[in-house]
Structure 1
Amino acid sequence: MTSISVSSLRIVHGLPELLALKGQHVGTSGWMAITPQMVQAFADSTGDRQWIHLDAERAAKESPFGGTIAHGFLTLSLLPALSASTLSVQGTRMSINYGLNRVRFTAPVRVGKRVRLHLESADMEPERDGSVKMTWRSTIEIENEAKPACVAETLAKYYF
């Protein structure tokens, strides 16, 4: 895995501090480079071996992107690592990925570029099992690009 550059990790202590985040920009991760090795490993894992991801020579000649690009789902799969470098919720028994409400891949990520996450708390719902379901607005920015790579509404459950 490619390393993430240093960012300001926001540490939240317990449920009251987590609930106080509603509607706030929580933080921004450090930068992570998208390497050819990451793209190749993702292609090997998923079987998605389209030439726009793996064939640098052909992509430079034929694609509208001027070179190879990361898979959209590779970009999305970086959310756990980027989130962990942005926010730490202390005092939980466990937290789980609960899914996604909406995902859009708004711009391609050229191999060699760097991305980072902007995380915002959108909503929270107490659940019957004692957990809290959080809805996060997750925007993956591409360095020096006007449009983000991915905008997603992600869900997590925190058990205290």
Structure 2
Amino acid sequence: MSRLLIQSHQEFENHLGQKLGVSEYHTVTQEQIDKFAEATLDFQWIHTNPEKAKTEGAFGSTIAHGYLTLSLLPFMWEQVVEVKNFKMLVNYGIEQFKFSAPVLVNSKVRTHVWLQECTNLRGISRIKLRVQMEIEGNKKPAFDGTIIFLYHFNN
């Protein structure tokens, strides 16, 4: 899979309004869900108890935490775009973000990315990306929204 290479603010601007690409599929496993529960102290049974989720849950299995799916964005972003020639990247914000469908355990997900906005803030590039996580075989996305990164490019 080829990634788009970006090495400057101007190169981001060249793709304004365009779809930058789509990540590879990633399978969300029960082990990953359990580790996320441990890291965040969110042990709600719909995520961590496969037996109870199967018999009492609305989905027939455990589901990934919404914030687990969100936390996959940096991993998936790096599959879409290779950014070089920068000193630092800052996760700056999230806007108009909606979780639309649950990600059932062992689902395959991937993320589509569009460049919505690119602003030069005195040498720092503020990049607004529309991101939509697709669940393989599901018409509704897991989520849709905007994330914002700040890139401090080298001069």
State TM-score, norm by structure 1.
0.91
User: Structure 1, residues 67-120: CA drift from partner, whole Å, max 9, x if none?
Assistant: 100000000000010101111122222222111112111000000011101010
1:144 aligns with 2:145: no
Q: Which sections of structure 2, spanning at least 5 residues, go unmatched?
A: none
Shift of 1:8: 2.8
* More off after superposition, 87-96 vs 145-154: 87-96
Shift of 1:156: 0.5
> Could you tell me how far apart the structure 1 residues matched to 2:31 and 2:96 are?
28
Output the aligned Cα RMSD: 1.1
Which 4+ runs in 1 deviate beyond 4 A? none
1:19 aligns with 2:19: no
- Matched with 1:4 is none
Count of equivalent residues:
153
* More off after superposition, 7-16 vs 21-30: 7-16
1:75 aligns with 2:69: yes
* More off after superposition, 146-155 vs 12-21: 12-21
1:100 aligns with 2:94: yes
Q: Which sections of structure 1, spanning at least 5 residues, go unmatched?
A: 1-6
State TM-score, norm by structure 2.
0.94
1:31 aligns with 2:25: yes
Q: Of the candidates 53, 60, 71, which is equivalent to residue 66 of structure 1?
A: 60
